[in-house]
Amino acid sequence: MHTMTPQDMLSATDLLRTGPVLPVIVIHDAALAVDLAAALLAGGIRALEVTLRTPAALDAIRQIRDRVPGALVGAGTVLTPDDWRRAQDAGALFGISPGLTPALLAAAQKSPLPFVPGVATASEAMAALDAGFTALKLFPAEAVGGRTLLKSLHGPLPQLLFCPTGGINPGNAASYLALPNVACVGGSWLVPEPALAARDWSAITTLAREASALRAAA
């Protein structure tokens, strides 16, 4: 189990404000994790979401946590309390879920680490708020109304801050980031499969640098 240092203890809001884009990383080979994280960090992207969709994910989180100082590595696609426990044991500094369940919210409340539950409706956002969560993932963003939905939610729920994910790309990211209740966007375009397979770290650093500049564009 990893020990926490004060700089690791971010709030969920601080986490979402770390950079304009939170890369959604699907990694099949943990041996690539350290170089990948270093390439993203070199482009100015510090917070990294490694999704638990692959068998390599937990090992990748562990390697980044141990060997890439400055990176804030967390777990995405956290679906159950057991997922969250295993992610924390691997050294994840935060957790993100595509949704929320009472069991998952209860497990997240017991952890000192930031957790970002996913919502797609006003009722789900209210349930998350009721459980004490104000930093949320909107998923799947484009499919459920995207910017129009976020603008509508801001009126009755101005205290909520979102990381919309799902259908976000370099073409629409800046328009999401311009919204007052959007802290960052989640996107997989920073880690394209061909670049990862080719170990083209300079291409990934370039994409990270472009993503880091999106805040200014917004």
Q: In the chain, what is the greatest distance between 2 CA atoms, to the nearest angstrom? A: 47
Single out the catalytic residue among 49, 124, 142, 193.
49
Preceding omega of 140 cis (within 30 degrees of 0): yes
Q: 203 vs 66, 149, 211, CA distance in Å?
A: 24, 33, 12
* 49 is a catalytic site residue: yes
Preceding omega of 158 cis (within 30 degrees of 0): no
Single out the catalytic residue among 110, 124, 137, 151.
137
* 137 is a catalytic site residue: yes
- Calculate the dihedral angle through the C-alpha atoms of 187, 134, 82, 56, rounding to the nearest 10 degrees: 20
**Which two tokens mark 113?**
């680490």
**Catalytic center residues:** 49, 137
